[in-house]
Amino acid sequence: MLLSLTDLSDEPLQGQIARQIRAKILNGELVAGDTLPSIRGLARDYHVSVVTVQRGYESLEREELIHSRRGKGFFVSDINQANKKRMALKSFAEKIKPMIKVAIDEGLSSGDILESIHNILNREE
């Protein structure tokens, strides 16, 4: 599994691990039943502590995106497409709310914000 972890980010390493694996699950890159690397293996491969990986995995378990089987490891949970979309939309809303608040505080209207988002999306496609 390819992750991009950096100490230069404001986001803690455990958050980077959880976010990137969450994205791989929600976009279908990882599917139900796929095996995740062991905690120790991922920690060794990315030169982070076992506790960091464990906390990232625990976060994903709380969201029911992954589950563990005693003595077998961690696996991607079976999540239907509607739930994946709901989870992705919830995550998006949580992340965009503070940015929208800043935009409104700086005097932008709802129309300005929507137009800006539309323009960004057009450039990304």
How much of the chain exceeds pLDDT 70, in percent? 99
Give per-residue pLDDT as tens, 4-43.
999 999 999 999 999 999 999 999 999 999 999 999 999 9
How distant is the alpha carbon of residue 94 from its chain centre?
12
Pick from 79, 92, 99, 89: nearest CA to 32: 79
Residues 37-63 have a mean pLDDT of 96
Vertex 112: Cα angle to 107 and 116 (nearest 5): 120
In a 13 Å sphere around the CA of 48, the CA atoms on its Cβ side amount to 21
Q: What pTM was estimated for this model as a whole?
A: 0.80
Q: In the predicted model, is pLDDT for residue 1 greater than 90?
A: no
Reduced to 3 states, what is the DSSP secondary structure of residue 75?
Answer: strand
In the chain, the amino acid numbered 48 is: V
The two tokens of residue 78 are: 């079976």
Contacts of residue 40, defined as CB under 8 A and 6 or more positions apart, other chains included, come to 50, 53
Note the pLDDT of residue 125. Answer: 67
Residues 35-64 have a mean pLDDT of 96
